Amino acid sequence: MGTEYASIFDYPPFSSMVFSLLRHIIKAETVEAVLEGLSEFPLNHDCLCIDLRRCVIDVGALPKLEPQAFWHNQNNENGPWPFTVNIDDESLAKIWIMSGGPPMFVEDIAEFGVFTDASRDFYQKQGVASLYHILIQRYGKPIAVLTVMWREQQKFSNEYRAVIEFTGWILAPVLENIYVHSENQDLRRLIDELERKLNDTEAAINAMAHDLKQPIATIISSADFLRNYIDKMSKDQIIQKATYISSASMGMSDWITSILLLASVRSDIYTIYDTIDVKAVILNAITSMQPIIQLFAANIQLDPSLDNLPLAQGQYSWIEHIWTNLISNACKYGGTPPLISISAETPDRSLRFSITNNGPAIPEEKRVQIFEPFTRLHDEDRQRSGTGIGLTTVKLLIEKLHGEIGVESNANGTTFWFSLPIAT
């Protein structure tokens, strides 16, 4: 039986342990440095190993753990796991941890009923007798799972558990900062690749670089400020900096997703068509767009002409992207508040859809350029302006589906229309 601690105060004073943990972790710039700091923490001194695995957000499902984990053992070795920490998909344990449950303290693997037999057998074969899992979250967003394992059974007192939960709270901003830096490096490499490939014109490349450098500068400056001054900042100041990083990262993610979609569609030679219920696609798009619809307090009306339409010929994901982009633009550039109507008609064996907003008229010269890359509806409004390639991608998708798109605009508002072939 392993050492049983009556109280965490058998160790150095609680405040000393906290300051020790902060000193080792707070300025860590790599996952390996975090693991080294955790290995120096008194409560982990006699453990078999420490595992830290990043969470991957999967829309509409429980977060997943990255297959590549980092670990630290008693021999002061860091690196990829020599074996896999098993939190399998069918296990109630995974649902508990990854859906935001409290930390899981397992004093005896053999007697812990939540594990599946496969998970229990796996740990026992590795000689693991006790462990704890803790989900590290930042503002409700899963960041990573920390796992510490022992070969001998442990007793986790209430005080011990409180300290471990506090450890997770300390780790959250540190790991978020590390992962943001890592993502920033990946984004830098991706930007370089995009700049190399998207060389249609010098103006297009300059526009792309300008649009991406601004959020990168925001991420870098905010992350560096957090790393250097986080121990002197108030909670509100930390939240403000983290919000800057999150907002800039999401903007960059949207931009890069649009670029990659545009590039992939351009390179597709063959298109496989399905039969599509377009009204169902519209409803799904409206559901997924609720955050932006609510942000602009938009009112969307679906015309009865959308009922009982023939099925369209196309690709579901492409048609959903078309509607998501057009609804987003209608919200951003509509009136105050935006009033949006969507309707349909069926001329000449095709489906023709229209989305109308009550925003200001688009100048005629802009209407000619609006589907060209890096053309924005309102350059002066940076908060509302998008990637500059959204409508370019929409036009390309519609043409790939053998349809057409156009725009009409006057003082009463703007209508984008497009057609799709009826499925045969």
Among 317, 186, 315, 314, CA closest to 253: 186
pLDDT of residue 398: 93
Over residues 82-100, the mean pLDDT reads 61
Can you tell me the distance from the alpha carbon of 261 to that of 188, in angstroms, rounded to the nearest whole number? Answer: 18
Q: Is the pLDDT of residue 88 over 70?
A: no
Q: How far is CA 69 from CA 54, 83, 118, 159, 279, in A?
A: 8, 10, 20, 28, 43
* Buried-exposed string 212-247: b where 16+ CB fall within 10 A, e elsewhere: beebbebbbebbebbbeebeebeeeeeeebbebbbe
Among 44, 1, 20, CA closest to 160: 44
Scanning the structure block, which residue is given the tokens 């959204």? Answer: 390
Over residues 261-269, the mean pLDDT reads 67
Q: Are 71 and 99 in contact (CB under 8 A)?
A: no
- Band the pLDDT of 5: cuts 50, 70, 90: very low
pLDDT of residue 2: 42
Residues 6 or more apart in contact with residue 237 via CB below 8 angstroms: none
Can you tell me the distance from the alpha carbon of 305 to that of 46, in angstroms, rounded to the nearest whole number? Answer: 70
Which tens digit of pLDDT belongs to each residue from 215-233? 777 788 888 888 888 888 8
Q: What is the mean pLDDT of the chain?
A: 79
Residues 6 or more apart in contact with residue 366 via CB below 8 angstroms: 375, 377
Over residues 169-192, the mean pLDDT reads 85
Over residues 149-158, the mean pLDDT reads 87
Q: Is the pLDDT of residue 306 over 60?
A: yes
pLDDT of residue 304: 95
Among 135, 54, 130, CA closest to 102: 135
- Band the pLDDT of 208: cuts 50, 70, 90: low
Per the model's pLDDT, the better-predicted residue between 9 and 247 turns out to be: 247
Q: How far is CA 27 from CA 31, 47, 237, 341, 408, in A?
A: 11, 24, 17, 52, 55
Q: Are 271 and 401 in contact (CB under 8 A)?
A: yes
Fold for domain 274-421?
Answer: Heat Shock Protein 90 (3.30.565)
Among 280, 270, 356, 272, CA closest to 311: 280
Among 342, 343, 340, 376, CA closest to 359: 340
Report domain extents, the chain: 8-174, 198-267, 274-421
Residues 6 or more apart in contact with residue 76 via CB below 8 angstroms: 36, 39
CATH 3.30.450.40 fits 8-174, yes or no: yes
Can you tell me the distance from the alpha carbon of 133 to that of 164, in angstroms, rounded to the nearest whole number? Answer: 10
- Tokens (6 digits) for 112: 């812990």
Q: Which range (176-185, 195-204, 256-265) has the least confidence? A: 195-204
Q: How far is CA 147 from CA 33, 131, 153, 240, 241, in A?
A: 16, 7, 15, 30, 29
Report the share of the chain in percent with pLDDT over 70.
75
Q: Is the pLDDT of residue 202 over 80?
A: no
